[in-house]
Structure 1
Amino acid sequence: MISFIVSIGILIAGYFLYGNFIERVFKADPDRSTPAYRLRDHVDFVPLPAWKAFLIQFLNIAGLGPIFGAISGAMFGPSAFLWIVLGCIFGGAVHDYFSGMLSVRHNGLSISEVVGIYLGDHTKQAIRLFTVVLLVFVGTVFLVGPAKIIDELTGNFADQWMWVTIILIYYVLSTLLPIDRLIGKLYPIFGLAMLIMALGLLIALLSGQYAIPEVTFSNLHNMTENPEKTPLFPILFVTIACGAVSGFHATQSPMISRCVANESQGKPIFFGAMITEGIVALIWAAAAMVFMDNVEGLNTAMAANHNNAAWAANEIVTAMLGSTGGILALIGIVAAPITSGDTAFRSARLVIADTFSLKQDSIRKRLYISSPLFIIAFLLTLVDFGIIWRYFAWSNQSLAVVVLWTITAYLYYAGKCYWISLVPAVFMTMVCTTYILIAPEGFELDHSIAYAGGAITTLCITIVFRMYVRRKKTTFDINYV
């Protein structure tokens, strides 16, 4: 219990201490006009109050991640606490703040365009395609996932595909309508519901007779049933993404960057939303660890239910929050992923529009871009959900790697403290390269070979990056930012 409480305290302190430091490094300018005002179009560029922008950003980046990812990550034991706290403060919050604020400085451009500015046209072209694919994956995951949960919560009242159809119709509307019409009105309500649910779980954990495991040297080992098949490094660092470091966030931040009314709001909106998500992930991880008395019990129960995190989430909320839990589960566990799925499609539309410089002033133009995305997503729902989730998880973290290197390039060109993003960039590069070499959906190599291959690949990428930015710094105009 002490480790859990201390972890929450560190996350909160990280917002005020490290968040202030990051803001000073970037040098947010409250007197500088933002794209929300300069480019206002009443569709995507719309100034919003800071509290509303925060709740939208929080729901955009949260979704199933801090719930499903935290539950699955809890199967590794208290190591999950360390990754959530350290990853969130020094990786995820830095990643989210800079991806959002660099977009603000570049007229609300999508992350692929921002990457191109700092890492070149070749990287930009690759990330354009990669980002759209990732967003379609996200939209598909958050289309099937909520449908499964609703189906289970309603006792299979209707066919799952009916719920898929209903959610897809909502996605179409939220992608096409101006951001303040549907998203701006629903998100504050759903955001509060998700936070209230997390608060309810926190109160239950603190007031109940729950023995949350402590972070000790003896506990920092892989507690999964098959450690050889699921090595803590790198599997844990891909399993828990949205509560620590997530590339998907970089696709969402530019959407909100078009609504930021003042640069001084960047810290509470971008850095703050990530810290809040870290706290939510921490609560769910702790709840999962005590769900079946201990971590071993969690692993046994998950194995018996095909590692179905949706089942575990429903059981946890109902058991800890009683009759009220079912309602909160329906609102929080269902609404949260839906409100990430809709903005995934909206962000994909913006990426494609930025790529081809297409205006989005009419609903016909927005439908022209969005229709193929919805068709592809629906077809992907026919693929096994587990496969989609695994490839989403890896591609999600891979995008985070590219964005962290992009941030490092910006800081290097500007002569600022580039180590604040260089360290997480190197670490996450090692995570992603090792994962694809060691995971069943990758090359499934022997562990020693995979670790060596990951280390060598990471070193090569670091050397190439250093050579590139040193050469480009001589011609890069940092005043452009």
Structure 2
Amino acid sequence: MISFLVCLAVLVAGYFIYGSIVDKVYGPDDRETPAVRINDGVDFVVMPRWKLFLIQLLNIAGLGPIYGALAGAQWGTSVFLWITLGTILAGGVHDFSVGFMSMRHDGASVSELTGMYLGNIMKTIMRVFSVVLLVMVGTVFAVGPAGLIALLIGNQGGTGLLTNTTFWLTLVLIYYFIATFVPIDKIIGKLYPVFGICLIVMAVGVGIGIFTHGYTIPEIQLSNLHPSNTPIWPMMFVSVACGAISGFHATQSPLMARCCRSEKESHMVFYGAMVCEGIIALVWAAAGSAVYAKTGGLTTGLTDMLANGQAACVYDICTKTMGGFGIVLAMLGVIACPITSGDTAFRSARLVVADWFKVDQKPYMKRLVLCVPLLLAGAFISQLNYGVVWRYFSWSNQTLAMIALWTASMYLFRNGRQYWLTAVPATFMSAVSVTYFFCAPECLHLSTVIAYPVGIIAAIAFLALFIYNTRRPAQHGEKQPVNHKKSA
């Protein structure tokens, strides 16, 4: 229990201390932001900071800090360390970096930012990679809540169509189309702050319920408690995903970067939302560790429950820690959370494609042309095996985060700032991503004897390549940062 409380305190302190360091390194100023300078009434719309924070939290949270944290808890309470340190040193830095860079480049998407600082080849890779990831994310965040709604109604005695997952999946996808198509302040700007509050209250309720219902949160131990003896490295670091660092956030931060009145809002909106998500993930990891019994010191209870489906596990924890009105509130948060990330995933995909092909998004017919095929692709993927899609989503997540951090490192270097702030977590995430690709069952599935050294060598090679590029003279025609004049 002490470990949990210490990690919670470190997360809060990290927002104020390390978040301020990140803010100082990037140096936000009073220049006009894209929301003020462009303001097209569709995607570029000025909104208040408190609303931006809650929307950003919902956009990035999704199922990640809940499902991912529960999956990570299978390895034991060592997951507390990854959530805490990952959030402060990597995830918060990652989200702040992309949001800030996007504001400096007219609200550009992460794929366009990658092209500016890592070259056209990487831009093309990121365009394809990010669109595929976003459609997968939108699909995952449609199937998950549809299953939760059907389960909840079935457990309350409901029958027939209302307990059919396909029915709810269809309704969710229809809503996604509407939310992806309309201006950002019409649905997202009005409803999401309310759901954001519900999400925070839900996490607080589960956290308090752990203590009031007599559960004990175990202290941190570094040993592997996974019943299948699946290695902690790199599996846990990929499974937790959004609760520590997530490349999906790099696709979401530009949405709010297009709505910030001032660059000085970056600390609260981007870094702050990531810290809040880390706290939510910590609570759910603690719940998974405390509620379910261990067998022979292994997390068999949690693993067996997750085998029945992630939705069933979430419902069970809510029942055991809250009950009554609390469970309704908790399930509302768990359902609203992924839905409000799924629709912005498809919205981000639309904007990435629009930036790619230079399609003006103010005319509604041009938005419609992009929305329809993206949602049809999501509907097709929703029929595939959910577990497999989730695993590919998790790896894609961390790979995109790796690329975004290297992009930020080059941005900081070219602007004469402390690039080690992002280069260190970029190197770490390179090792995570490459190692996972070589040893994961859904990837190459090679022995860890091969995967471990390959991952380390690849991370060192990426770092060496980056350092080489900081030492060489600037090449003729190389893309340089765009620095708009400060407003008077």
Is the TM-score greater than 0.5?
yes
Counterpart CA distance in 1 for 2:150 and 2:346 is 23
Counterpart CA distance in 1 for 2:302 and 2:436 is 26
RMSD: 1.5
The alpha carbon displacement at 1:382 in A equals: 1.2
User: Which residue type is aligned with residue 2 of structure 2?
Assistant: I
Q: Secondary structure at the match of 1:480?
A: coil
Aligned length: 475
Are residues 1:26 and 2:31 paired?
no
Counterpart CA distance in 2 for 1:360 and 1:305 is 42
Counterpart CA distance in 2 for 1:103 and 1:472 is 26
Are residues 1:56 and 2:34 paired?
no
Aligned to 1:349: 350
Aligned to 1:196: 201
Counterpart CA distance in 2 for 1:165 and 1:472 is 55
The alpha carbon displacement at 1:298 in A equals: 4.7
Residues 202 and 326 (structure 1), Cα distance of their counterparts in 2 relative to 1, 3 Å cut: closer
Aligned to 1:395: 396
**Residues 116 and 479, structure 2, Cα contact 8 Å, conserved in 1:** no
Are residues 1:154 and 2:153 paired?
yes
Q: 2:218 aligns with which of 187, 207, 213?
A: 213
Aligned to 1:128: 127
Counterpart CA distance in 2 for 1:251 and 1:333 is 21
The alpha carbon displacement at 1:365 in A equals: 0.8
Aligned residues: percent identity? Answer: 47
Counterpart CA distance in 1 for 2:363 and 2:298 is 54
The alpha carbon displacement at 1:325 in A equals: 3.1
The alpha carbon displacement at 1:202 in A equals: 1.8
The alpha carbon displacement at 1:70 in A equals: 0.5
Counterpart CA distance in 1 for 2:400 and 2:306 is 31
**Residues 248 and 397, structure 2, Cα contact 8 Å, conserved in 1:** yes
**Residues 288 and 298, structure 1, Cα contact 8 Å, conserved in 2:** no
More deviation in 149-158 or 329-338? 149-158
**Residues 350 and 370, structure 2, Cα contact 8 Å, conserved in 1:** yes
Counterpart CA distance in 1 for 2:438 and 2:308 is 23
Q: Which runs of 5+ in 1 are unaligned?
A: none
Residues 118 and 305 (structure 1), Cα distance of their counterparts in 2 relative to 1, 3 Å cut: closer
User: Which residue type is aligned with residue 164 of structure 2?
Assistant: D
The alpha carbon displacement at 1:222 in A equals: 1.0
Q: Secondary structure at the match of 1:154?
A: helix
Aligned to 2:436: 435
Aligned to 1:323: 324
TM-score normalised over the length of structure 2: 0.94
* Segments ≥4 residues shifted beyond 3 Å: 293-298, 468-481
**Residues 37 and 47, structure 1, Cα contact 8 Å, conserved in 2:** yes
User: Which residue type is aligned with residue 186 of structure 2?
Assistant: R
User: Which residue type is aligned with residue 402 of structure 2?
Assistant: V
Aligned to 1:471: 472
Counterpart CA distance in 2 for 1:478 and 1:358 is 23
Counterpart CA distance in 2 for 1:480 and 1:282 is 39
**Residues 50 and 269, structure 1, Cα contact 8 Å, conserved in 2:** yes
**Residues 227 and 298, structure 2, Cα contact 8 Å, conserved in 1:** no
More deviation in 132-141 or 291-300? 291-300
Q: How does 1:75-474 map to 2 (within 5 A)?
A: 75-155=74-154, 157-215=162-220, 219-227=221-229, 230-294=230-294, 298-303=299-304, 306=307, 308-471=309-472, 473=474
Q: Secondary structure at the match of 2:32?
A: coil
More deviation in 411-420 or 99-108? 411-420
The alpha carbon displacement at 1:305 in A equals: 5.2
Question: Alpha-carbon deviations, 1:380-427, whole Å to 9, x = none?
Answer: 111110110010000111000000101111111222111111111111
Counterpart CA distance in 2 for 1:18 and 1:52 is 23
Counterpart CA distance in 2 for 1:337 and 1:300 is 25
**Residues 394 and 432, structure 1, Cα contact 8 Å, conserved in 2:** yes
User: Which residue type is aligned with residue 483 of structure 2?
Assistant: Y
Question: Alpha-carbon deviations, 1:131-170, whole Å to 9, x = none?
Answer: 0000000011011111111111111643211101100110
More deviation in 160-169 or 317-326? 317-326
Question: Alpha-carbon deviations, 1:29-53, whole Å to 9, x = none?
Answer: 0x21110010001100000000111
Counterpart CA distance in 1 for 2:147 and 2:378 is 16
The alpha carbon displacement at 1:226 in A equals: 1.3
Residues 294 and 199 (structure 1), Cα distance of their counterparts in 2 relative to 1, 3 Å cut: farther
Counterpart CA distance in 2 for 1:196 and 1:457 is 42
Counterpart CA distance in 1 for 2:48 and 2:129 is 32
Residues 125 and 470 (structure 1), Cα distance of their counterparts in 2 relative to 1, 3 Å cut: farther
User: Which residue type is aligned with residue 310 of structure 2?
Assistant: A
Counterpart CA distance in 2 for 1:449 and 1:121 is 32
